[in-house]
Structure 1
Amino acid sequence: MTNAAQANIESLTGILARTFRLYIQTHGYHWNVEGPQFVQLHQTFEEQYQELWNSLDDIAERIRALGAYAPGSATALINLAGDEASPASTAEQMVDNLIAVHFDLAAKLRDAIVLAQNAEDEPSAGMLADRLEWHEKQLWMMQASRK
């Protein structure tokens, strides 16, 4: 395996792990949000965590298609995901935390797209570009809600 191919797989694994962490965080916020924006945020968080959950399978299967093994436990994924967001006790803090994590994940996705292109892995680059587009839309909507 080439260095570019290995870097691509490692990058995809990192994206998988960060997506898993964001899924758990968003699902937790869905359960615990309260306040005047409860209904809107409860629904938004549900839509987000469902999209994140569904994306996990695509990312993991892409890793497998490249001949590597995807992390197979919650512990392995969390250990690969990096730092966890600060705790949030208000709806505003939840949205702010999600904005920060989506922003970070979007940056990681941009890097991952370059690595996939360097490895001449257009299917991964396309999948990652689709993920980036979704995260950027979530960022736009959440940032607009905080104005």
Structure 2
Amino acid sequence: MANKIKIGEANIGISEENKQIVSDHLNRLLANEFFLYTKTRKFHWNVEGSHFKSLHLLFEDQYNEIAETIDAVAERIRKLGHYALGSFKQFSAVTDLIEHDGEEPTDAKTMLLELCDDHETIIRILRNELIPIAEKYKDLGTNDFLTGVMEMHETMAWMLRATAK
């Protein structure tokens, strides 16, 4: 007997409950990516010092790659039949990253280490979510997607750490 589905519902072999849970994880990632994108862009605009040009370009490369990831995460949520968050208020409610109001870092090393810490926060979250998303929620596609996102963040964190030395 075929499963009855609602018009427009994603019938992809994952229960609606599991798609909702995975979409919630993805929306948390989307918020984290958006916060990291914004901070990276801010540091791109405000970096100073003897390594200005190389850091300005490094930050630009990274925020461009993060922007592509933001779009891919939102599209993954839509593939599961759910809606992506899209406002600062929504992102602020679920992000794990800290936005510093007030005193801005002025030295490049602090910028590099702050960004590295944010990438590593995202890596740790993703590493903890990979097995449950595959095994408990039966979503191998999202697991594969998130593995690629985690690897991207590992590369970016490595570049930032190596540059900060």
CA contact (8 A) 2:133 2:143 kept: yes
- The answer on 1:26 being equivalent to 2:43 is no
Map of 2:139 onto structure 1: 121
Map of 1:99 onto structure 2: 116
Map of 1:145 onto structure 2: 163
**Cα-Cα RMSD:** 1.6
- Matched ranges for 1:1-147 at <5 A: 1=15, 3-86=17-100, 87-117=104-134, 118-147=136-165
Distance 2:37 2:89 in 1: 14
CA contact (8 A) 1:11 1:115 kept: no
The residue type paired with residue 116 of structure 1 is I
Q: Secondary structure at the match of 1:72?
A: coil
In the TM superposition, residue 89 of structure 1 has moved relative to its aligned partner by: 1.9
Q: How many pairs were matched up?
A: 147
CA contact (8 A) 1:16 1:56 kept: yes
**How does the TM-score come out when normalised to structure 1?**
0.91
Distance 1:123 1:84 in 2: 29
The residue type paired with residue 136 of structure 1 is E
Distance 2:92 2:67 in 1: 15
Deviates more, 1:4-13 or 1:102-111: 4-13
Q: Which runs of 5+ in 1 are unaligned?
A: none
Give aligned-pair identity as a percent.
33
CA, structure 1 residues 146+83, in 2 after alignment: closer, same or farther (shift >3 Å)?
Answer: closer
The residue type paired with residue 144 of structure 1 is A
CA contact (8 A) 2:32 2:97 kept: no
Q: Secondary structure at the match of 2:127?
A: helix
Distance 1:36 1:27 in 2: 19
**How does the TM-score come out when normalised to structure 2?**
0.82
In the TM superposition, residue 137 of structure 1 has moved relative to its aligned partner by: 0.8
Q: Which runs of 5+ in 2 are unaligned?
A: 1-14
Deviations 1:33-79 (A, max 9, x none): 00011111100000000001111111011111112111122321233
Higher helix share: 1
Distance 1:110 1:9 in 2: 17
The residue type paired with residue 37 of structure 2 is Y
